[in-house]
Structure 1
Amino acid sequence: MRLRRRLSADPSLALPIETSRLLLRDFVSRDLEAVHAYSSAKEVTRYLIWGPNTLLQSKQTIRAFLDDQKERPRINFDLAIVRKGTTRRGDEPKLIGGVGLKLVDWDNRTADIGYVLHPDYWGQGYALEAAQGLAAAGFRDLGLQRIVATCDQRNKASARVMERLGMRREGSFRRSKYIQGGWRDEFLYALLAEEFYV
């Protein structure tokens, strides 16, 4: 891949990333059950280019995350979103979704951000908190100038997260992605480093 050859340094994030309620960390193989719980849900994937996953597809996803962690330079930072603390039953902190940052244009210090949550945790601010934590790390640790994101125009909840993150809608693409059996329109959002730190 051309991007890999052009990177002059080994981009890295200081992991794990902590927010007030969350821990963002690399995925591990034992995360399969939690990943499959959200990636196999139709309501989670209805606006995404993947899913709902079979168990085999979820296993392949975990394997891809683990492989990306070994790449040098690393360009994909897919991280588990884990709630801090223990549950009422004293269980370990719970993996509730994923958030990712992909370096798409290193020469211009640009990365793409995305997030996905188990539906039990929708509407509680977790997607925004995870995106804020990862965006801050991207600007600080990677020296990014710009973070972009796209979403299916029907996905109002995702667009709200981007807007609350401070991203500006920069474009509208017609029939740009094949999503769940049909060509869909997308919005493009972007956030600059100087806007994030205002």
Structure 2
Amino acid sequence: MFEKLHFNTARLTIRPLQQGDLHAIYESRRNPVTSKYIGEPATLEDAQARIDQASAPWQAKEHERLLLAVVRREDNVLIGELMYKFLSHNAKTAEIGYRLNEKYIGQGYAFEAANGLIEAAFAQFGLNKICAFCAVENQASWRLMQKLGMQQEAHLRQHFKFSHGYYDGYMYGLLRSEHSMAATA
């Protein structure tokens, strides 16, 4: 029914994760700084399990994650990941997520990758709305959501549980009509 996403942006290739990505994924996910508001730093086994999950056929079921690699085109280096999943086929709503290796933060790659994913998802899947979630303390994440044109829709009390406690979350959303207006503005 649906194909896995694979596309290019000006500086990046976005493609499904593959077995050869193991060490780059591990290097990125074991970092406590970039893991703070996502989960525990990953072990090599955790990284392998993520690659294995990404290698399985994607059925595009509600809440089934499609895991994508963010690869810098100039040197073919994997610099991060994107996540996509349908929240509701009936409502034509999906969720995106993003994560970069700490070495590549602050260079516009997260915006470029996430914006490309939003454009591809609206075009390929006929969505009405794309959502994203983050911990309130994750200022870089919610600022990126705002830069992407997303609107804050909810403040979710104690929505995330990490080893260091419960955290409130934000939910942001972007409607197809808002994205179309932003693209033409």
Q: What interval of TM-score do these two structures reach, taking the shorter chain for normalisation?
A: over 0.9
* Paired position in structure 2 for 1:51: 40
**Deviation at residue 71 of structure 1 after TM alignment:** 3.3
Using structure 2 for the length normalisation, give the TM-score: 0.93
Matched, 1:38 2:25: no
Deviations 1:102-150 (A, max 9, x none): 1111110100100000000001111111000000011000001000011
Structure 1 partner of 2:83 = 100
| % identity of equivalent residues | 34
- What is the rounded CA distance, in whole Å, between the counterparts of 2:179 and 2:58 in structure 1? 28
- Which residue in the other structure is 1:189 paired with? 172
Cα drift, residue 73 of structure 1? 4.1
- The two structures, once aligned, show a CA RMSD in angstroms of 1.2
Equivalent positions of 1:105-124 (< 5 A) are: 105-124=88-107
Unaligned ranges ≥5, structure 1: 1-9, 87-92
Partner residue, 2:139: 156
How do 1:1-198 residues align onto structure 2 when only pairs under 5 Å count? Answer: 10-13=1-4, 15-48=5-38, 50-67=39-56, 70-73=57-60, 75-86=64-75, 93-198=76-181
**Given residue 185 of structure 1, which amino acid in structure 2 is its aligned partner?**
D
How far, CA to CA, are the matches of 2:8 and 2:170 in structure 1? 29
Q: Is the 8 A contact 2:40 2:162 kept in 1?
A: no
What code does the residue aligned with 1:72 have?
Q
Q: Secondary structure at the match of 1:140?
A: helix
Please give the alpha-carbon distance, in whole angstroms, between the structure 2 residues aligned to 1:56 and 1:12: 28
Partner of 1:90: none
Structure 1 stretches of 4+ with a deviation exceeding 6 A read none
CA-CA distance at 1:76 after TM superposition: 2.6
* Counterpart AA for 1:187: Y
Q: Indicate the structure (1 or 2) with the bigger Cα radius of gyration.
A: 1
Shift of 1:11: 2.6
Give the aligned residue type for 1:16.
Answer: H
- Aligned pairs, number: 179
Aligned equivalents of 2:142 and 2:60: distance in 1?
A: 31
Q: Write the deviation string for residues 60-92 of structure 1: whole angstroms up to 9, x where unpaired.
A: 11111112xx13345432110000123xxxxxx
